[in-house]
A and B are shown apart, each in its own frame.
Chain A
Amino acid sequence: MRGKLAPLLLWLLPLAFLAAFYFYPLASILDLSFARGEGLLQPFADILGNARLSGVLAFTFWQAALSTILTLAVGLPAAYLVARYRFRGKSLLRALSGIPFVLPTLVVAAAFDALLGPRGWVNVAAMAVFGLESPPLLFINSFGAILVAHVFYNLTIVLRLVGDFWARLSPRIEQAARSLGADPWQVLRQVTLPMISPALAASALLVFIFDFTSFGVILVLGGPHFATLETEIYYQTVALFDLPTAGALALIQLLCTLALTIIYTRLSTRLSRPLELRAPRAAAQPFATRRARWAAGGFLILLAIFFAAPLGGLALRSVSRLGAPRGRVATTPGLTLDYYAALGEDLRGNVFFAPPGEAIRTSLLYAGATVAFALAVGLPAAWVLARRQNALLSRLLDPLLMLPLGTSAVTLGLGFIVALNTPPLDLRTSPLLVPLAHSLVALPFVVRSLTPALRSIRPRLRQAAAVMGAAPTQVLRYIELPLVGRAVLVAAMFAFAISLGEFGATALIARPEYPTIPVLIYRLLAQPGAVTYGQAMALSTILMLVAGGGMLAIEKQRIAEVGEF
């Protein structure tokens, strides 16, 4: 009896968590948009009838599609080079490209601001060199800024999904095609592209989903002129308090992402199906001709600059004091740690302006709670998934746990606002609200890092150790704990980093007097003044270092295969 009951209980915990904090809030949104009793389709008709809102809908698709195409256009050549050639700095490029993906959107936005914004390096330099009165480059608040940031963010998806898949394909297949008389163009069209198409489609879809639900980038870099579903839900909720409209928008958003996520999951199972092609070790070759080396080298260097410049610019900006604009008291330009020192001060009397030090404390507390929640739910879930791979319940649970991955954070936040401010679950003022939302966002990552490790503890391993004379406690200590311990650490770091950087849901549900670091960066960026700007840069830099460092540690510790996003 015990054998049957225990897994069921383990199963119930994640399910209850999802029910209370995922399905219930989303159902409340549904309820909200239909509560007006105007018929099922009325809210949608209202939105489509409203010129502005239907424009928002169209723009959401348009910017996501264009961003995806651009990402592929840059990512595919890069994936090809990484998969097929051997060159110095390959792993560096790989690591570099991965950093943006794990950075909080606010940090990326701040980084581009530090490089290309009105107070950024390029404009500062141009003004100094040409003696201009105003910044010549108007990058921030433009469509281009949104596109560039999206490419910056998601390039690593194409690079990894397509690049890794491509590298595993035996180059012999392409050689076979050539020996059969296919010219390089025919090989590409008839052999290579069809073979990488699952990875290509999966990465395009994933990039599209991320671009479709992008929030911080649109809000900060796009500015007030550009609204997507995501920012519009935020705007309707926070500025207009029009929850029914926000709810209807969220519903549309949810339907789209749900459909895309389902297609993605289908595709990614096809990806993991082995193509029987073991890649020979020497698959990656050096460049054959000098021309090829120069062309590829130039492209790769540009790519490296594209990744490194905004991040480096951000870090440098956070320790640089620039000369004040004309007409003000001049300060000497130079390096300074003033902005970091100023993090402890409260500069304005504004009630909504918490001192940065306090925001750091809040963020750390939330992140700690998120780790606890996510592990408490994720461990049993992963255990069930690992032990009973083929049980019907597991096959149901697995996709359910992945659902939050495709759900926009703002929609989730809206759901929390709508659902969790009335009994039976009144958490509106509870400090647990934010960590709960963060745990939900982190859950897919936590489960995905834990399951393979738990799965790797096969009975065989235990038997092998026992045969060699290990007592059960020694098996636990030397075999099982080291295997699981690392995975738990990785999962915890994921949860921690995600919580620190989460902005979409937090922007909606965090109480104004307790902002988290990203929320505070957003407020600081919107303020005039060199010191607040410097503080934003300093906070972003800290967040960048924590998130980047955490992810580098994860990469080193990781047991799971890449591709299990």
Chain B
Amino acid sequence: MLEIRKLRKAFDGKLALDGVSFKVRTGEIVALLGPSGSGKSTLLSIVAGLDRADRGAVLWDGKNMANTPAHRRGFGLMFQDYALFPHRNVFGNVAFGLQLGSQSAAQVRQTVSQVLQLVGLVGFEDRDVSSLSGGEQQRVALARALAPQPRLLMLDEPLGSLDRALRTRLLEELAAILRKARQTSLYVTHDQEEAYAIADRVVLLRAGRVEQVATPEELYRRPVTAFAARFLGLHNLLPARIVKVGRRTWLETPLGKLPAPKTKLKGDVVVLLRPDAIRIGRSLPIKLTGKLTSKRFRGRNLQARVLLGETQLVLDLPADAVLPKQGAKVHFSFDPRAAVQVFPRED
């Protein structure tokens, strides 16, 4: 089990990591999610032993790794740009880690062909790495990292440089391979869809701090901060105030008064009106009317924008939702218990 304990790292006085802690249990896939500059790659370098933390510790099964150099940690690392050895062919790349050990040549060959089979590159042994397509290179990099059977595999934006269609396909394959190998993994990405698809748990990083640790479902259903909600692609974050009238708590929002969910927060807050919980028509408890400013068909769903006074709302509707003409009036409704969440106001 990997344990990250209060890691801190600064570059030229600027904090890249500020007290990061989380765990990766054996056999678990944890996604490290965050925008660029949130400290993901720095964290990975420190765990791999390629960089040192200013404070805090990296522990494996309770043992501090501070004085274990990168090559003795038994952690594998797969880079975004793959970092394949240009002077070695596919076999030479995948076999590299094995050849450093005490295995016989025959054993090495057998392991390499097993791993290549796992990643779907049977018969690629003699190919020059520069002759491979992006997807093939990605698989070679994965095979190379998997071959020495690392205790922990870290993947740094492994699908970052591929086109969308290929990404979707490889992501599923990658998840299947990691699960099949029961590989303890730390998967770094800035794309929440990728994190949802591959991870057992997600660690959301923001500017060097852990914002939230949760399963993908939890994270999507219950983000704990406005940043998390925004980063997960949830629109409709509105400034609001919590007011008490008698025994009932209300939210004063630009859309009007809404019943507040249970919360300990007081005063100024941020309200999330989940775009996927709003429906066209007047079937749900809170009913509003606005002007339809745009509608965009996005394959599986239909995204509409509605203007109420000066507030722009985004609605994620089913693909078959019926909408009036652009510019026309539109009625919509939502259930506050499902649609409304409140977060502390950010400065």
Contact = CB atoms under 8 A, between A and B. Distances in A.
A288 interface: yes
Interface in A370-427: none
Interface in A11-45: none
Contact of A179 (B75, B81, B86): B75
**B48, B52, B71, B77: which has the most chain A beta carbons within 10 Å?**
B71
B165 interface: no
A175 B48 contact: yes
B270 to A, nearest CB: 35
A275 B88 CA distance: 12
Given A175-B48, A195-B86, A277-B86, A181 B79 contact: no
**B50, B52, B75: which has the most chain A beta carbons within 10 Å?**
B50
Contacts of A172: 79, 81, 83
Contacts of B100: 180-182, 186
A180 B86 contact: no
Contacts of A178: 49-50, 69-71
A179 to B, nearest CB: 4
A173 B70 CA distance: 14
Contacts of A191: 85
Interface in A271-292: 275-278, 288
B35 interface: no
B97 A180 contact: yes
Contact of A176 (B69, B73, B79): B79
B85 A170 contact: no
A175 B77 contact: yes
Given A175-B48, A195-B86, A277-B86, A181 B74 contact: yes
A183 interface: yes
B87 A195 contact: yes
Contact of B81 (A180, A195, A197, A278): A278
A182 B83 contact: no
Given A278-B81, A288-B52, A181 B148 contact: yes
Contacts of B85: 173, 176-177, 191, 195
A194 interface: yes
B101 interface: yes
A276 B83 contact: no
Contacts of A170: 81, 83
B71 A181 contact: yes
Contacts of A197: 87
A183 B71 contact: yes
Contacts of B86: 173, 195, 275-277
A177 B96 CA distance: 8
Given A181-B97, A194-B87, A175 B130 contact: no
Interface in B71-103: 71-77, 79, 81, 83-87, 96-97, 100-101
Interface in A456-489: none
Interface in B87-144: 87, 96-97, 100-101, 130, 144
Given A191-B85, A194-B87, A276-B86, A179 B130 contact: no
A177 B148 CA distance: 12
Contacts of B77: 175-176, 179
Interface in A178-207: 178-184, 186, 190-191, 194-195, 197
A175 B49 CA distance: 10
Contacts of B52: 288
Interface residues of A, number: 24
A191 B87 CA distance: 8
Nearest to A172: B83
A181 B50 contact: no
B76 A180 contact: yes
A197 B86 CA distance: 12
A275 B86 CA distance: 7
A181 B76 CA distance: 9
Contacts of A179: 48-50, 70-71, 73, 75-77, 145
A170 B80 CA distance: 12
Interface in B4-52: 48-50, 52
A92 B318 CA distance: 64
Contacts of B69: 178, 183
Contacts of B87: 194-195, 197
A175 B96 CA distance: 13
A363 B131 CA distance: 54
Contacts of B74: 181
Contact of A182 (B50, B75, B79, B96): B96
A162 B336 CA distance: 66
Contact of B144 (A180, A194, A275, A278): A180
A201 B147 CA distance: 33
A288 B69 CA distance: 14
Contacts of B75: 179
Given A181-B97, A276-B130, A176 B71 contact: no
A190 to B, nearest CB: 8
A205 B94 CA distance: 33
Contacts of B145: 179-180
A186 B96 CA distance: 11
Contacts of B83: 170, 172-173, 175-176
A182 B71 contact: yes
Contacts of A277: 81, 86
Nearest to A178: B70
A279 to B, nearest CB: 10
Contacts of B50: 175, 178-179
A395 B69 CA distance: 51
A83 to B, nearest CB: 16
Nearest to A193: B87
B280 to A, nearest CB: 47
A349 B317 CA distance: 104
A178 B48 CA distance: 9
A173 B100 CA distance: 16
B24 to A, nearest CB: 16
Contacts of B76: 179-180
A525 B253 CA distance: 91
B85 to A, nearest CB: 6
Nearest to B45: A175
Contacts of A186: 71, 100
A191 B100 CA distance: 12
Contacts of A194: 87
Nearest to A180: B97
Nearest to B147: A180
Nearest to B76: A179
Nearest to B100: A181
A180 B96 contact: yes
Contacts of A175: 48, 50, 70, 77, 79, 83
B157 to A, nearest CB: 12
B73 to A, nearest CB: 8
A397 B148 CA distance: 51
**A175, A184, A278: which has the most chain B beta carbons within 10 Å?**
A175
B36 to A, nearest CB: 13
Contacts of B49: 178-179
Contacts of B72: 181
A199 to B, nearest CB: 13
Given A173-B84, A179-B50, A194-B87, 13 more contacts: A170-B81, A173-B83, A175-B70, A178-B69, A179-B49, A179-B70, A179-B71, A179-B73, A182-B71, A182-B96, A276-B130, A277-B81, A277-B86
The 4 closest A-B pairs by CB, nearest first: A180-B97, A172-B83, A179-B77, A178-B70
Interface of A: 170, 172-173, 175-184, 186, 190-191, 194-195, 197, 275-278, 288
Interface of B: 48-50, 52, 69-77, 79, 81, 83-87, 96-97, 100-101, 130, 144-145, 148
28 contacts: A170-B81, A170-B83, A173-B85, A173-B86, A175-B50, A175-B79, A176-B77, A176-B85, A176-B144, A177-B85, A178-B50, A179-B49, A179-B70, A179-B71, A179-B77, A180-B71, A180-B97, A180-B144, A181-B101, A181-B148, A183-B69, A183-B71, A184-B71, A194-B87, A195-B87, A276-B130, A277-B81, A288-B52
